[in-house]
DNA sequence: ACTCTGGTTCAAGACGCG
DNA sequence: TTAATTGAACCAGAGT
DNA sequence: CGCGTCC
């Protein structure tokens, strides 16, 4: 999914497009688009506590999960303390083209539930945790509650018509935000001018903040934006079947050779 | 021997105290 | 008709 | 840093 290894490819083929950033301070005063749905998913998975053998999310007095609230609150406060102005983008309806994968994932999930049952009975804590994570979901209510929280904090929220990443990219392309802060390189395909990686993970996980410039990537690859999109399609993306035997390396070669995706296809 | 693809598997927050 | 990620790291195997 | 807590 996504374009496999796109970041790695860019690091090899267009290193000048990638800049190392010292700290979050570099973005003081800047608007940054963030995929909220992705954040929530991670919060629901990670913010838990082992209570009597089962790994449960944090909850309020009524037993409603609150992990997403705690996670979003602390993360957003940290960003704001550094003067960053986050714009959270929520997923809309999944694109039709992704529905095809639904059956396979449902099966996986059912298996995880069975796995969980077995692990509980066997008292295998590690396995319980793993299976619990695999069965974790983010509901519509979690999303709504988070939007309310952000609203109260004065943080702007955007509802994407479909995929959040596409809307993050559009916001950046149209100059509404400085960059899209995401790990998803697909954002570049959608036209993000600037993509910031590891914005959150930098401090806690000792990762380097990386800033990717779409313009400089195109420059260095010596291709146009249209060609870059063609390149991504050839490499294999969410929206169509992959070509057998064609990954990023082959795709860029073919494209350099023939110029457009249409001519590449003709040659095959 | 080397390169590349493709399948599988795994891990994923943030804070503060000592 | 609830809600269902994602990428990176690793390894096997095909192609050159 | 390791570990417990956050609700």
Residues in chain A: 268
pLDDT at A98: 63
pLDDT tens, A112-152?
Answer: 888 888 888 888 888 889 889 988 989 999 999 999 999 99
Quick check: helix, strand or coil at residue A62? Answer: coil
pLDDT at A240: 66
More confident residue, A263 or A197: A197
Give, in Å, how far the C1' of C11 lies from the CA of A243: 22
User: Domains plus CATH for chain A?
Assistant: 14-221 (3.40.50.1010), 222-268 (1.10.150.20)
pLDDT band at residue A260, thresholds of 50, 70 and 90?
confident
**Which protein residue's Cα is closest to nucleotide C8 at C1'?**
A5
Please check whether residue A21 is in contact with residue A28, taking contact to mean a CB–CB distance below 8 angstroms: no
What average pLDDT does this structure show over A21-46?
A: 95
Chain D nucleotides covered by protein, CB below 7 Å = 1, 5-7
- Nucleotide at minimal C1' distance from the A235 CA: B5
Q: If 0-12 CB within 10 Å is exposed, 13-18 middle and 19+ buried, where does residue A161 land?
A: exposed
pLDDT tens, A161-177?
Answer: 999 999 999 999 999 99
- Nucleotide at minimal C1' distance from the A47 CA: B13
* Among the ranges given (A140-144, A218-222, A258-262, A263-267), the one the predictor scored with the smallest mean pLDDT: A263-267
The pLDDT > 70 percentage for chain A reads: 93
pLDDT band at residue A87, thresholds of 50, 70 and 90?
very high
């Amino acid at each position: 999914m996504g374009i496999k290894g796109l970041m790695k490819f860019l690091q090899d083929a267009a290193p000048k497009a990638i800049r190392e950033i010292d700290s979050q301070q570099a973005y003081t005063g800047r608007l940054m688009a963030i995929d909220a749905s992705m954040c929530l998913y991670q919060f629901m998975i990670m913010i838990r506590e082992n209570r009597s053998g089962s790994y449960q999310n944090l909850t309020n007095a009524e037993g409603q999960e609150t992990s997403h609230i705690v996670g979003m609150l602390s993360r957003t406060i940290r960003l704001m303390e550094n003067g960053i102005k986050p714009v959270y983008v929520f997923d809309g309806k999944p694109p039709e083209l992704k529905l095809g994968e639904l059956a396979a994932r449902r099966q996986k999930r059912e298996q995880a539930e069975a796995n969980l049952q077995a692990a509980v009975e066997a008292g295998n804590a590690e396995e319980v945790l793993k299976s619990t994570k695999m069965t974790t979901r983010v509901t519509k209510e979690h999303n709504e509650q988070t939007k309310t929280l952000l609203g109260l904090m004065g943080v702007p929220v955007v509802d994407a018509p479909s995929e959040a990443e596409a809307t993050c990219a559009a916001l950046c392309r149209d100059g509404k935000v400085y960059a899209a802060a995401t790990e998803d390189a697909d954002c570049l395909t959608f036209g993000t001018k600037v993509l910031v990686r590891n914005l959150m993970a930098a401090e806690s996980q000792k990762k380097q903040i990386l800033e990717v410039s779409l313009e400089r990537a195109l420059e260095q690859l010596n291709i146009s934006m249209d060609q870059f999109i063609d390149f991504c399609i050839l490499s294999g993306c969410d929206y169509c079947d992959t070509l057998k035997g064609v990954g990023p390396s082959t795709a860029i070669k073919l494209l350099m050779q023939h110029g457009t995706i249409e001519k590449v296809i003709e040659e095959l």
